[in-house]
Structure 1
Protein backbone atom coordinates (compact mmCIF):
# COMPACT_ATOMS: atom_id res chain seq x y z
CA UNK A 1 0.00 0.00 0.00
CA UNK A 2 1.36 3.44 -0.77
CA UNK A 3 1.88 5.85 2.11
CA UNK A 4 -0.74 8.32 0.88
CA UNK A 5 -3.43 5.65 1.29
CA UNK A 6 -2.21 4.55 4.72
CA UNK A 7 -4.10 5.62 7.81
CA UNK A 8 -1.45 7.03 10.13
CA UNK A 9 -1.62 7.22 13.90
CA UNK A 10 0.63 8.55 16.64
CA UNK A 11 1.30 6.81 19.96
CA UNK A 12 -1.64 8.56 21.63
CA UNK A 13 -3.90 7.18 18.89
CA UNK A 14 -2.46 3.70 19.46
CA UNK A 15 -3.23 4.02 23.17
CA UNK A 16 -6.80 5.09 22.40
CA UNK A 17 -7.28 2.18 19.97
CA UNK A 18 -5.92 -0.32 22.51
CA UNK A 19 -7.81 1.29 25.44
CA UNK A 20 -4.65 1.78 27.49
CA UNK A 21 -2.76 4.76 28.87
CA UNK A 22 -0.17 6.38 26.61
CA UNK A 23 2.89 5.26 28.67
CA UNK A 24 1.82 1.63 28.21
CA UNK A 25 2.40 1.93 24.46
CA UNK A 26 5.94 3.23 25.06
CA UNK A 27 6.57 0.28 27.35
CA UNK A 28 5.32 -2.16 24.66
CA UNK A 29 7.67 -0.58 22.13
CA UNK A 30 10.70 -0.86 24.42
CA UNK A 31 9.96 -4.37 25.65
CA UNK A 32 9.22 -5.76 22.20
CA UNK A 33 12.54 -4.67 20.65
CA UNK A 34 14.36 -7.79 19.51
CA UNK A 35 11.34 -10.03 20.11
CA UNK A 36 9.68 -12.26 17.53
CA UNK A 37 6.90 -9.64 17.23
CA UNK A 38 8.44 -6.16 17.61
CA UNK A 39 6.18 -3.13 17.67
CA UNK A 40 5.83 -1.69 14.13
CA UNK A 41 8.34 0.99 13.25
CA UNK A 42 7.31 4.55 12.48
CA UNK A 43 6.55 5.29 8.83
CA UNK A 44 6.94 9.07 9.02
CA UNK A 45 7.28 12.13 11.22
CA UNK A 46 4.42 14.61 11.46
CA UNK A 47 5.03 17.75 13.46
CA UNK A 48 8.09 16.13 15.02
CA UNK A 49 6.08 13.13 16.22
CA UNK A 50 6.47 9.58 14.95
CA UNK A 51 3.43 8.18 13.15
CA UNK A 52 2.66 4.55 12.46
CA UNK A 53 0.68 2.62 9.86
CA UNK A 54 -2.66 1.84 11.52
CA UNK A 55 -3.00 -1.51 9.75
CA UNK A 56 0.40 -2.63 11.03
CA UNK A 57 -0.45 -1.50 14.56
CA UNK A 58 -3.84 -3.23 14.53
CA UNK A 59 -2.24 -6.44 13.24
CA UNK A 60 0.45 -6.24 15.95
CA UNK A 61 -2.18 -5.75 18.65
CA UNK A 62 -4.12 -8.75 17.33
CA UNK A 63 -1.07 -11.03 17.06
CA UNK A 64 0.32 -10.12 20.48
CA UNK A 65 -3.02 -9.92 22.28
CA UNK A 66 -2.04 -6.55 23.77
CA UNK A 67 -4.53 -3.95 24.91
CA UNK A 68 -8.03 -3.97 26.32
CA UNK A 69 -9.92 -3.61 23.05
CA UNK A 70 -10.55 -6.60 20.82
CA UNK A 71 -12.16 -4.43 18.13
CA UNK A 72 -8.70 -3.68 16.70
CA UNK A 73 -9.11 -6.96 14.81
CA UNK A 74 -12.35 -5.66 13.29
CA UNK A 75 -10.61 -2.34 12.62
CA UNK A 76 -7.89 -4.05 10.56
CA UNK A 77 -10.43 -6.26 8.76
CA UNK A 78 -12.63 -3.24 8.02
CA UNK A 79 -9.72 -1.32 6.50
CA UNK A 80 -8.87 -4.30 4.30
CA UNK A 81 -12.50 -4.72 3.25
CA UNK A 82 -12.70 -1.00 2.36
CA UNK A 83 -9.60 -1.24 0.16
CA UNK A 84 -11.04 -4.28 -1.65
CA UNK A 85 -14.34 -2.46 -2.29
CA UNK A 86 -12.52 0.58 -3.69
CA UNK A 87 -10.37 -1.65 -5.92
CA UNK A 88 -13.38 -3.53 -7.30
CA UNK A 89 -15.26 -0.27 -7.94
CA UNK A 90 -12.23 1.11 -9.78
CA UNK A 91 -11.95 -2.00 -11.95
CA UNK A 92 -15.67 -1.85 -12.77
CA UNK A 93 -15.39 1.82 -13.70
CA UNK A 94 -12.44 1.19 -16.02
CA UNK A 95 -14.21 -1.76 -17.63
CA UNK A 96 -17.37 0.26 -18.30
CA UNK A 97 -15.40 3.25 -19.58
CA UNK A 98 -13.44 1.12 -22.04
CA UNK A 99 -16.49 -0.82 -23.16
CA UNK A 100 -17.85 2.13 -25.16
CA UNK A 101 -21.27 1.56 -23.69
CA UNK A 102 -24.10 3.48 -25.34
CA UNK A 103 -27.64 3.70 -24.05
CA UNK A 104 -30.20 1.91 -26.18
CA UNK A 105 -33.33 3.67 -27.34
CA UNK A 106 -36.47 2.74 -25.48
CA UNK A 107 -38.66 3.00 -28.41
Structure 2
Protein backbone atom coordinates (compact mmCIF):
# COMPACT_ATOMS: atom_id res chain seq x y z
CA UNK A 1 0.00 0.00 0.00
CA UNK A 2 1.89 3.07 -1.25
CA UNK A 3 1.75 6.17 0.92
CA UNK A 4 3.25 9.62 0.75
CA UNK A 5 5.73 8.68 3.44
CA UNK A 6 9.15 7.29 2.72
CA UNK A 7 9.61 3.59 3.32
CA UNK A 8 12.72 2.20 4.87
CA UNK A 9 13.60 0.57 1.54
CA UNK A 10 13.47 3.95 -0.21
CA UNK A 11 15.57 5.48 2.55
CA UNK A 12 18.14 2.68 2.38
CA UNK A 13 18.30 2.79 -1.43
CA UNK A 14 18.80 6.56 -1.37
CA UNK A 15 21.56 6.21 1.22
CA UNK A 16 23.35 3.63 -0.95
CA UNK A 17 23.02 5.82 -4.03
CA UNK A 18 24.51 8.80 -2.19
CA UNK A 19 27.51 6.71 -1.13
CA UNK A 20 27.95 5.43 -4.69
CA UNK A 21 27.62 8.92 -6.16
CA UNK A 22 30.19 10.27 -3.70
CA UNK A 23 32.63 7.51 -4.70
CA UNK A 24 32.10 8.36 -8.37
CA UNK A 25 32.65 12.06 -7.67
CA UNK A 26 35.98 11.25 -5.99
CA UNK A 27 37.05 9.20 -8.99
CA UNK A 28 35.97 11.85 -11.49
CA UNK A 29 37.62 14.59 -9.45
CA UNK A 30 40.90 12.70 -9.52
CA UNK A 31 40.64 12.19 -13.29
CA UNK A 32 39.72 15.86 -13.69
CA UNK A 33 42.76 16.97 -11.71
CA UNK A 34 45.04 14.74 -13.80
CA UNK A 35 43.52 16.07 -17.03
CA UNK A 36 44.06 19.66 -15.88
CA UNK A 37 47.70 18.91 -15.10
CA UNK A 38 48.10 17.21 -18.48
CA UNK A 39 46.57 20.22 -20.22
CA UNK A 40 49.02 22.57 -18.51
CA UNK A 41 51.94 20.38 -19.58
CA UNK A 42 50.63 20.22 -23.15
CA UNK A 43 50.30 23.98 -23.32
CA UNK A 44 53.77 24.54 -21.87
CA UNK A 45 55.52 22.06 -24.17
CA UNK A 46 54.55 21.28 -27.73
CA UNK A 47 50.79 21.83 -27.89
CA UNK A 48 49.13 19.54 -30.39
CA UNK A 49 45.74 21.17 -31.12
CA UNK A 50 43.95 17.82 -31.36
CA UNK A 51 45.39 16.61 -28.06
CA UNK A 52 44.59 19.91 -26.33
CA UNK A 53 41.02 19.71 -27.63
CA UNK A 54 40.68 16.10 -26.45
CA UNK A 55 41.95 16.88 -22.95
CA UNK A 56 39.79 20.01 -22.75
CA UNK A 57 36.74 17.96 -23.72
CA UNK A 58 37.60 15.40 -21.03
CA UNK A 59 37.76 18.20 -18.46
CA UNK A 60 34.39 19.57 -19.59
CA UNK A 61 32.75 16.14 -19.59
CA UNK A 62 34.01 15.25 -16.13
CA UNK A 63 32.93 18.63 -14.76
CA UNK A 64 29.44 18.12 -16.15
CA UNK A 65 29.25 14.59 -14.72
CA UNK A 66 30.30 15.87 -11.29
CA UNK A 67 27.61 18.58 -11.41
CA UNK A 68 24.97 16.00 -12.39
CA UNK A 69 26.06 13.67 -9.60
CA UNK A 70 25.88 16.48 -7.05
CA UNK A 71 22.34 17.20 -8.24
CA UNK A 72 21.46 13.51 -7.89
CA UNK A 73 22.92 13.47 -4.39
CA UNK A 74 20.75 16.44 -3.46
CA UNK A 75 17.65 14.62 -4.72
CA UNK A 76 18.52 11.43 -2.84
CA UNK A 77 19.19 13.38 0.35
CA UNK A 78 15.65 14.77 0.09
CA UNK A 79 14.34 11.19 -0.03
CA UNK A 80 16.45 10.31 3.01
CA UNK A 81 15.24 13.38 4.89
CA UNK A 82 11.61 12.37 4.35
CA UNK A 83 12.25 9.37 6.57
CA UNK A 84 12.60 11.77 9.49
CA UNK A 85 9.73 14.07 8.51
CA UNK A 86 7.74 14.98 11.64
CA UNK A 87 4.40 14.03 10.12
CA UNK A 88 4.94 11.28 7.55
CA UNK A 89 8.46 9.99 8.17
CA UNK A 90 8.82 6.23 8.40
CA UNK A 91 11.15 6.49 11.41
CA UNK A 92 8.91 8.95 13.24
CA UNK A 93 5.84 6.77 12.62
CA UNK A 94 7.73 3.71 13.87
CA UNK A 95 8.72 5.50 17.08
CA UNK A 96 5.15 6.69 17.61
CA UNK A 97 3.89 3.13 17.25
CA UNK A 98 6.57 1.78 19.57
CA UNK A 99 5.86 4.32 22.32
CA UNK A 100 2.08 4.57 22.10
CA UNK A 101 0.97 0.99 21.49
Greater helix fraction, Structure 1 or Structure 2: 2
Bigger Rg, structure 1 or 2: 2
TM-score clears 0.5: no
Higher strand share: 1
TM-score, scaled relative to structure 2: 0.41
Higher relative CO (Cα under 8 Å, sequence separation at least 6) belongs to 2
